[in-house]
Structure formats: C-alpha cells, structure tokens
Structure 1
Amino acid sequence: MTTVCDLLVRADQILTQNPLRTVIEQGGIAITGDTITDVGSWEEISNRYQPVNTLDLGNVLVMPGLVNAHTHAAMTLLRGVADDLPLMEWLTKHIFPVEQHLNRDFVELGALLACAEMTRLGTTSFCDMYLLEDATYSAVDKAGLRILGGEGIFMFPSPAYPNTDRGFEIVKELHAKWKNHPRISQSVMPHAVYTTTPAILTRCRELAEELDLPINIHLGETPTETEQCLKAFGKRPVPYAHDLGLLSPRTTIAHAVDLTEAEIDLLAETGTVVAHNPESNMKLASGIANIPYMLEKGVRVSLGTDGAASNNALNMFTEMTSCALLHKVHSMDPTCAPAQSVLDMATLGGAAAMHRQDIGSIAPGMKADMIALDLNAPNLLPLHNPVSHAVYAATGAEVRMTMVSGEVLYNDGTYLRIDYPALVAEIRAVRDWVRSKLV
C-alpha cells in the first residue's frame, strides 16, 4: 500500500544533518505541502509513496539549505563603496551617512538582490536587521526565502522613524502585519550598546517578552566597543547586557569577538545564541571570536556573513571555509573547528539563531528547505566525504537547485520567482544614486 505525497525528490547523495548525521546514497525524500514526510533510500521511499510529482536530480548532493544567521540584506546596494576601513570609521563616516537617504524602494530593491544572491548560493533562511524592514519583508515575500527580521532600534532618528518611540511602534506594527506569514518572522532588534541607552535596551527586552519575540543585537564586536561601553556604563558589553536582562535563550548576539572566557561562560549559562561572522570580522579587523571555547562550553553558535558592504558577499559556503581555516591557524590546531562542527553552525546553529526547530536538517517533520550541489563539478570530484566537500571544497557555484517550503526557487540557472534580468537593470540604475550620496 502506498501513501500519496506531493513530491518525491531523488538524489545520488543526501546529507541529512539529522541527529545521527546520516548520509544516504541513492536516496529519496517525500514532501507533502511544505514539510518533509519521509527520508530514506530511493528504493524504500519510491515504493512507499505515490507522488503527484517527481524531481530526479541525479548526481547531486542534497543537503539542508544554509542559514545566514546575521546580515543586513539591503546593504547589497553599498557593496564595495567603503572598503579597507575599521568598523567605527566605516560606519560613522561612510555607511550611516548614505543610509540616512534610503527610502522604501531602495531597501526593497537591495533586499531582493540579496535574496537572489542567497538563493543562487544555497541559503534558504536568514536573520536580518536593517532600516525600513517592511520593505525587506516584501522582497522576501516575492523571492520565497525564509527570514527572521527586525527594524533596527537606535537612540537617534533613522529613515524609518523620527524618534525611538516611533521605532517601537513600527516593531509592533510589523509584528501585527506579518505574524501569520509562513516564512516571515519578527524579532526585536536593538542595534548595539553604543547606539542605544539602558532605557531603550530595557524597553526592547520588555517588548520581546510582551510579544514573545526573539532579540537580536550586535554585541562584543570590537575592543573599541568595549572601551566605549566601559566609559559610558562602567561595564563591558556582555555583563552590561546581562544586567539589563538581555541574555537569555530568546537572544542572539552578533559577532561576540571581544569576550573573556568568563563572559562566554555566561553566554552558555543563559542559553544565548552567538552569530559568528568570520569574514566580516577579518575584513574590518575587528578580531577573532573564541569559537573553539564557545563550542567546548556548549554555546549555541551559528554562522553569518554580515552585510554585503563588509564582507562583501552573502556566500555561506565561503563563510564556512573561512570559519574552519581561521580558527585552525589562529589556534595552531588543525583539529580545531572540524568540518562537521562548522556545517552544524551553518545549518542547525542557524536554526537556533532563527529560533526554529523545523529547519536545519532533512528529516520527517522538518520544513522542505534544501539545496542540491552538482557532484559533476570538478572541485567536488572524487567524493569521499560529503561534509568535507560542503565545508572545504564547495564555493556556492555548484548549487543547481534551491528549495524552500517544498517550492523550487532556483533550478539549473533559472530563478523561478525573481525576474533576474529586470532586477539587474534596476540595480544598474540605482548605482548612480548611491554614488551621489557618498561623502
């Protein structure tokens, strides 16, 4: 007796990321609606299910879609405009001044470009903090990806609001508008300790508790931030945030670079999630997060790119490679940051940063978010270890298919939701506007 399902996917290799980290050769995946109903050998699955449609991907490695745990999607518009500068100079003298001129149309366009880039390179979910975030949600709605987003909260005006009170109102309005969307989730996102006040951070925590939302914040990104926090509040960033009640299982902190071991212990004790951004931290010379110690202490670590203005790509495959290699050479220990741990950061760790238990692996009951890598690509031959290939050999260019919620968004060079030629034309047109706003 067979069971009806919407789609059967066949692939030569399936990297499940399930609790046993099972790899299936000649595998099959049954999907009903937006959810995986079964995974196993193709012989078993094809005999067990009667599909409405079948997708035979052939010689590919199917794996969970990658999760970009920290980015600012619309900053694709600022890619390459202010390179090779330290964080505070980069932000205050170049990025913030241009951002003050942003409007909804530009943010939506930049976010749609980010969605196209991530879809092409195997990212299916991302956490996003930015300005005029409703426009980013509109782009995500069109593109088909999954997002945990939030309007950045500052102590000064932004293009979205004239004052912080209005900023909090916008957070509530966005939650009400999008809370029933299957792929768009909301978070409370104070920007950082140096762009807020104790009262603002306390209010953010209270609002997150009131609406039962996650919290995302940049924290411990640089020694300069630490110096500023000590001068202003008499505490280092992590203890300062903890004393305000911000560290908890609902919280994800981005960067976590300038931390002591005692502060990392505190993250572990409070269940706080870390979004590690190795390439951005290297480019801005912010420092190197102590990820090996975090993993040793059981901190939930995810992986992100940061924005395209400080990376300069939204490529989670190269981010995985950078993460693994950076920590090996920094610790002078080749066993440090093994491939499986890094892949876990980009999948299951990302699910923790998204505050979801239904993404990050290919298993029954999980959302059907998956990607397929071409195993005929020369840099993926021969195949000895799929995990090794995903972390050390793949570049993202091998992605043949990207699927979210059971819907194929990209297949063999074709976007199925995004009008990419039209998007390219719009991006070229907006380039002159960006240049006109540079200081």
Structure 2
Amino acid sequence: MDRHEKTPADFLITCVDHVITCDDTFQVFSPGAIAVHQGTIVAVGTPCELHQRYEAKETVTLSGHIVLPGLVNTHVHGAMSLFRGLADDLPLDRWLHEHIFPAESRHVQPDFVFLGTLLSCTEMLLGGTTCFCDGYFFEEAAAQAADLCGIRAVLGQGILDFPTPDAPDPKAVRHRIQAFLENFPRTSARLRPSLFCHAPYTCSPETLQWAKAVCTDRGMLFQIHVSETRWEVETIRSRYGTSPVAHLERLGILDDQTLCAHAVWIDDQEIHLLAETGACMAHCVESNLKLASGIAPIPAVLKAGIPVGLGTDGCASNNDLDLFSEMSLTARVHKAVTGNPTVCDARRVLLMATRMGAHAVGWGAATGSLEVGKKADMVALDMERAHLCPLYDPTSHVVYAARASDVRHVWVDGVPVVRDGVLKTVDVPNLLREVRKAAAVIAEGMFFR
C-alpha cells in the first residue's frame, strides 16, 4: 500500500509485547498494536499490519509492556478517601454509627467532597482505573473533580430516609435530587448522573420506587447496597417478610439498569431473581472481608449469567482503590471458599474488572474492551519488574502478579492522562498538601480515641 493511501490516525501504540483486548473472543496480540483517531479505537492487531494501514501523527513504542482496557471500579464512595484509616478494625455497625456517620455530619460539605473525590480519582488513574461508579453526597462536587481529572464516571447522588449532610430534612430529598440533576455538569460526555439509594433498610418502599422511576425516566443507572450483612437480611425479613432481593423485585426495582453492591448474603432463589431481571452486581471482596461482612457467592452468580463487576468500596473500609489487588484476591478467595482451584480463573476475573464491569455500570457500549469503535480507554503496564519476570501468560500475570504501581501509561478517550507514571491533569504534590490540611481538621475532632 502506498504511503499516501494510508488511513490517518491521531496516534499508534506499537511494538507492545502483549495487547489483551478483553473482547468477546478474548483476543491477545503478541506483539500487538492499537490505532486511535479522535478518541476512538480504529484498529487493533499486529504492529506490521497497523503500520501498513495507518499514517499516525504520533507513534508510541511500548516494548516491554502489556496494554489492556482501562479498569472499571463499579462501586466507590470517592469522597471517603479523606476518612482513610479513620476507624479500622471495628464491626460494621459500630464503624458506621460511632465513627463514619458522626464524621460525615461534622465535615461533609461540597469542598470536602470535591477534595476527597479528587484524591480518589488521582489514586485510581495512577493505578489503571479509567472509569468508576460513585455514590455519595453533594455529588455535583464529585462530578467536578472527576471532570478535572479526566476520568470516566457514573456519579450517584445518595438518598436516605434520614438526615444527610446535603439533605438535613429527609422530606426535602426530592428537591435535593432535582437540584442535583439540574446542576450536574454538562461539559463532558465522560460523566453520567445516577441515583444511589443507600439500602432497602434505610429507604422506604416509596422512596425506592420514586427514585427508580426517576432513573427510568431519564435512562440513568440506579444503585443500591443489597444484602451486605446478615443483620440487613434479618431486618428486611422482619419488616417485609421476605429477603432484600425479593423485596426489591416485588417493588419493581430490579432490571438491567440496576446495580446491586455487595450482595453477600444471597441464596439460590435470589440469584435466580437477579439473573431473571437482568440486574447487575458489584463485588467488593476486600471491603467485605475487612468489615467481616462475608464473601459473596460469586461462582454461583457468574454461573447464573449475572454481570458482575469489581468494586473497591470507599477508602474508609478498604483502605485503597487498587483494582489489581481486588482482582488478585477475588481470584484466590473463591477458590479457597469453594475448594475448587478452577473457579474465578484469571480470564474471568480480568473481564469482571473490564468488560463486565463496564456493562454493569452502563458504559459497556463505549469502554471495557479494546475493540474498533470503542473509546480509547487503555492502560499500559511496565513488565520490566522483578516480580513480573518471567512471563508465560500475560492474563495470569495481570491478575496474579501485577500491581497498581506497575501502571506506566493511561489514556481516557484517547487522551494521555498518565505518562511515565505521572498524572498530567492534577498537581499531585499540591493535592496531597491540601488533603493533609483537611485531615488535620478532621483529626482535631477525633472522637474515637
């Protein structure tokens, strides 16, 4: 092909040791290359093929790297990074009611949410996460932070039937939601609004149905914590005579635009209901273990065909936003629980962190895999590390051996937001100084000594 007949592209990533596409057939190109134009992937293949077909304005040579889709964190409370390590090693009820809820009532304001979410977005991008699904208060401020960082996000405004930092009067929550939707930033197609009803035990049936109706009317994702603890299951059974999942199904809450976080204490009948309705799940293995909430029956959930993504939960209960460690633990813990070393294999777990997670949060058509027509949300891992040598199977390495610190380059919408391990959209040293100032104020009122 003559040089002048080549198709133009903005940039070409080439000479990659391994490109893991996470597409329907799980293609891996070794070596591989990716052509990107106007923020969209236009070709994935071998370096020789793409060099022949495309004339790129920029060529990025990444020998010694693995390139994979940007990771998708399906359940985060971004602003809670400012509470990282605030009250560890406690049962969930004490952790929430004695420490987290009081801290939120004292400190959570728009500036707090902006700063905490900015810190979380910084951590996620540097660790290879290019899309996240958030749920918290003053979520307009979270959207502003995500926009500044250049990350892709679903921002869920929190809803409860008791006073919250941004809705002191629960009776006015509908006005609060209207304000959130009216003030949601419209400057970036990377950001989508969502509603997040905290849980079936903190939101009445009327609140759940109203919020779900708003989401349905606007084509938004509906988020909710479901069956996170035994206590929750017992509480819902005592109130409504059925399980949390069955309760939500009776109310018409469950469909393919519903994301159920945790779902630890679900039985076979509830798994069937989730599969039948098309609802999705966010699996937060590290948070669930740290709070001793339990371990969700993920092998059975996957067997039923339920889309499952990985989530870190908030930093206050994890205490990081590292999806590489979530992948590693997910792949291991379910083997131990089931006694079956073949469950949650590396390929399936990587799909949970990419394509399946993107589907779960409503972004499946745009991201989650490296395919023609999808957004160029990509991560490059530096494989020239002692803990990554030798390499026989790149997928296995990503799940069982790689770390967030191995991330070298990150693109979102084809924009290089991390280059050579440096975040280009945020002044990180200044951000950390501001976070330490905020932490000093929080520490002054420490009530758990």
Q: TM tier, shorter chain? A: over 0.9
SS of aligned partner of 1:53? strand
1:93 aligned to which of 78, 89, 98 = 98
Compute the displacement of 1:92 (Å): 1.2
User: 1:407 aligns to what?
Assistant: 415
User: 2:425 aligns to what?
Assistant: 417
SS of aligned partner of 1:193? coil
Contact 1:8 1:28 (8 Å CA) reproduced: yes
Contact 2:140 2:185 (8 Å CA) reproduced: no
SS of aligned partner of 1:156? coil
Q: 2:65 aligned with 1:57, yes or no?
A: no
Contact 2:286 2:329 (8 Å CA) reproduced: yes
Which deviates more from structure 2 when the two are superposed, residues 429-438 or residues 375-384? 429-438
User: 2:8 aligns to what?
Assistant: 4
In 2: Cα distance, 1:169 partner to 1:68 partner = 29
1:159 aligned to which of 162, 165, 174 = 165
- The TM-score, its normalising length taken from structure 1, stands at 0.98
2:404 aligned to which of 380, 390, 396 = 396
2:300 aligned to which of 278, 293, 299 = 293
Amino acid at match of 1:73: G
SS of aligned partner of 1:205? helix
Compute the displacement of 1:179 (Å): 5.0
User: 2:114 aligns to what?
Assistant: 108
SS of aligned partner of 1:52? strand
Q: 2:90 aligned with 1:82, yes or no?
A: no
SS of aligned partner of 1:269? helix
Write the deviation string for residues 259-291 of structure 1: whole angstroms up to 9, x where unpaired: 111100110110000100000000000011000
Amino acid at match of 2:127: L
Structure 2, gaps ≥5 residues long: none
Compute the displacement of 1:178 (Å): 3.1
Contact 1:179 1:186 (8 Å CA) reproduced: no
Matches within 5 A, 1:173-212: 173-176=179-182, 177-179=184-186, 181-212=188-219
In 2: Cα distance, 1:166 partner to 1:33 partner = 43
User: 1:369 aligns to what?
Assistant: 377
Deviant stretches of 4+, over 6 Å: none
Q: 2:367 aligned with 1:359, yes or no?
A: yes
Matches within 5 A, 1:171-320: 171-176=177-182, 177-179=184-186, 181-320=188-327
In 2: Cα distance, 1:354 partner to 1:20 partner = 22
Amino acid at match of 2:372: P
Structure 1, gaps ≥5 residues long: none
In 2: Cα distance, 1:237 partner to 1:218 partner = 10
Compute the displacement of 1:434 (Å): 1.4
SS of aligned partner of 2:13? strand
User: 2:34 aligns to what?
Assistant: 29
Compute the displacement of 1:419 (Å): 0.4
Write the deviation string for residues 152-199 of structure 1: whole angstroms up to 9, x where unpaired: 001112111233454333333433433562110111211111211111
| Identity, % of aligned positions | 41
SS of aligned partner of 1:114? helix
Amino acid at match of 2:21: T
Amino acid at match of 1:287: G
- The TM-score, its normalising length taken from structure 2, stands at 0.95
Write the deviation string for residues 79-126 of structure 1: whole angstroms up to 9, x where unpaired: 101111121221111101111121111111111110111011110000
In 2: Cα distance, 1:175 partner to 1:134 partner = 9
Compute the displacement of 1:227 (Å): 1.2
In 1: Cα distance, 2:41 partner to 2:220 partner = 26
Contact 1:153 1:168 (8 Å CA) reproduced: no
The root-mean-square deviation of aligned C-alpha atoms, in Å, is 1.2
Compute the displacement of 1:218 (Å): 0.2
In 2: Cα distance, 1:99 partner to 1:232 partner = 28
Which deviates more from structure 2 when the two are superposed, residues 155-164 or residues 181-190? 155-164
